[in-house]
Every structure is written in structure tokens, then in C-alpha cells.
Amino acid sequence: MRIECPPLPFADDALEPHMSAETLRLHHGKHQKAYFDKLQALVAGTDFADLDLETIIVSTAKARGAKPKAIFDNAAQLWNHGFFWRSLAPAGGGLPAALAQRLERDFGGFARFRERFAAAAAGLFGSGWVWLAERKGKLEILALSNAGTPIADGASRPLLTLDVWEHAYYVDYRNRRDQFTAAFLDRLANWDFAAQRLASRATAFDPAAPGAALRA
């Protein structure tokens, strides 16, 4: 079994007051753990058992049938969460110059990017993920439902993500997804991570790896 449960790269109270320890304990310890446990049960004894997470996701992304769909959903959720933890930083942080320049070029500046990202989060019906990604050399915002992930078809390279499932914000913000999104964009987003992803040209990412978890 090569699948691992991505660790939190910071203490569970490190993002307070913007994201509480209670939220992180539930989100990481219960929700992510459930995806991990379900995935392990689904792939046990199958050819998937020895594959890495990204290969499982790509292999099942277009598969039909209840079991492959369940494998995709749980594998993608596990990968997305690992990417999400890296998209958060306890101290927030400024925008690296190289990323700021790209946001300027592709969105008309950070303010316009922020506006469009927030609108994508607000407009995503139900559960899902909002991504900053790069496609064909251009930055884009993707709003993907449920377990949607840019690595499923390899067309876009993810740089940063926000989990907009209710379990990500209901404890702290109740139904105010807009406030949660604002806290992410203004206080928690790990712009250094996004800039590293952009600079590294890496597509692959190992959510269970320690450190920056960038893989060329």
C-alpha cells in the first residue's frame, strides 16, 4: 500500500482565529481520515493497491461503474486535502513578486484575481474546490464540484486550492462561505507555496510528503 494519509503541516491551532483547532481536528482527523479509510478498503486486494494516489486518480477519472467512481472520489478527496493543507499558512504572507506579476498579467492584478476567486467560491453550487491553476502558460481559476481536481485530466497544473465543502467552514463561519473565502484570501493563503509551484514547473505533488512536497 503506497497510499498515505497527508499530515497537517502545522499544529491544529496554528490557523486560529481564522480557522479553529476544532475545525482542523474535524476536517483533518475525521473527514480526511474517512476518505483515507474508505479508499484503503476499496483498493484492498485490487491492482490499485500498489499504485500512488495520482495514478489512481488519473486511472479512475473517466471510469464508469460504482466502485471505480467511489475509488476516484475518495482518492481525489485525499489528494485535494493534502494540497489544501499546503495551500494554507499560519502567518499568511505577502505575495511573491513573480506570482504578483503573473496575477497582473493574467487577471489584471491581485484585486481582480481576488474578486474572481471569491465569486467562483460563492458561485460553486454545493460542495467542491476552487483552484488557482496554470493551463497552457496562463493562470486560471477553476471551480470544480465534489471531488473535482485539476490533475484528473492533466490539463491544468494546480497552484493553490480552497476547500468549499461545508465541513471546511461550518464550525467557524456557519453558512457564511463568503467570510471563510475572505479569510482564506486575506489571511491564510500560502502564496509562497503557489509561487514555488509556479516556479518549479512541477505537475506532480505528493500530499503525504514532508516539507514543501514539491516533486519535479
Positions touching Fe ion (CB under 5 A) are 163, 165, 168
Specify the residue, 27 or 102, whose C-beta has the smaller distance to Fe ion. 27
| CB closer to Fe ion out of 107 and 205 | 205
Shorter beta-carbon distance to Fe ion: residue 48 or 83: 83
> Min. distance of Cβ 129 from Fe ion in angstroms?
9
Among residues 54 and 163, whose Cβ is nearest to Fe ion?
163
Find the shortest distance in angstroms from Cβ 175 to Fe ion: 16
Place of cell 475525521: 30
Which amino acid is located at 104 in the chain? Answer: E
Query: Closest approach of Cβ 137 to Fe ion, in Å?
Result: 30
Name which of 83 and 107 has its Cβ closer to Fe ion: 83
Question: What is the spatial distance between Cα 62 and Cα 47, in angstroms, rounded to a whole number?
Answer: 17
Alpha helices in the chain (DSSP H): 21-26, 33-43, 53-60, 66-86, 97-107, 110-123, 170-173, 177-183, 191-200
Burial label for 50, CB within 10 Å (0-12, 13-18, 19+), is exposed
The β-bridge relationship of strands 128-135 and 157-163 is: antiparallel
User: What is the C-alpha to C-alpha distance for residues 205 and 216, in angstroms, rounded to an integer?
Assistant: 9
Closest distance of CB 73 from Fe ion, Å: 12
Alpha helices in 108-162 (DSSP H): 110-123
Task: Answer whether the bond into residue 17 is a cis peptide, omega within 30°.
Answer: yes
In the complex, the smallest distance separating the C-beta of residue 103 from Fe ion, rounded to whole angstroms, is 25
Instruction: Return the number of other C-beta atoms located less than 10 Å from residue 123's C-beta.
Output: 9
Shortest distance, CB of residue 195 to Fe ion, whole angstroms? Answer: 24
Given the complex with Fe ion, which of 42 and 162 has the nearer CB atom?
A: 162
Give me the residue whose beta carbon is nearest to Fe ion.
163
